[in-house]
């Protein structure tokens, strides 16, 4: 257990529904990253925060994806109008400072049916 907590661990949703995932970082970690991982691939970067500021969001996959970190602690990733192609593992990672290792949570496995 790295100390990064993600909820839920698994989510099954119908196409067209909205879903929201939560990530709770290690408490002193001010950087928080969201990734998507599909089968047989490495994690694909989506967006990141330093404290409450979202510093990079151009790699979010479409305008259906959004993320927040309102108080600089936990973060949420929302996918609106889900599509079957959104089925994947969504991973959260946090860092204490910029150029140190990122610690990953166990991920949220999304299945869109």
Partner 1 sequence: GESVGLHLPTLSVQEGDNSIINCAYSNSASDYFIWYKQESGKGPQFIIDIRSNMDKRQGQRVTVLLNKTVKHLSLQIAATQPGDSAVYFCAESYGEGGSYIPTFGRGTSLIVHP
Binding site for partner 1 (CB under 8 A): 2, 4, 6, 33, 35, 38-45, 48, 55-56, 91, 93, 95, 98-99, 101-107, 109
Nearer to partner 1, 32 or 112 (CB): 32
Give the nearer residue to partner 1 in terms of CB position, either 37 or 80. 37
Residue 82 or 94: the one with the smaller Cβ distance to partner 1 is: 94
Cis ω before 8 (30° cut-off from 0): yes
Instruction: With CA atoms as reference, report the closest residue to 73 among 31, 41, 106, 20.
Output: 31
Structural contact between residues 44 and 36, judged by C-beta atoms closer than 8 angstroms: yes
Residue 25 · residue 85 · CB < 8 Å: no
CB of 16 to partner 1, least distance (A): 25
């Amino acid at each position: 257990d790295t100390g990064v907590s993600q909820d839920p661990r698994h989510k099954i949703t119908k196409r067209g529904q909205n879903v929201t995932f939560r990530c709770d970082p290690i408490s002193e970690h001010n950087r928080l990253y969201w990734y998507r991982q599909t089968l047989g691939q490495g994690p694909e970067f989506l967006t990141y925060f330093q404290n409450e500021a979202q510093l990079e969001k151009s790699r979010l996959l479409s305008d259906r994806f959004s993320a927040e970190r309102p108080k600089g602690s936990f973060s949420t990733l929302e996918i609106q109008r889900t599509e079957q192609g959104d089925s994947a593992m969504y991973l959260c990672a946090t860092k204490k400072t910029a150029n140190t290792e990122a610690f990953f949570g166990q991920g949220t496995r999304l299945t869109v049916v």
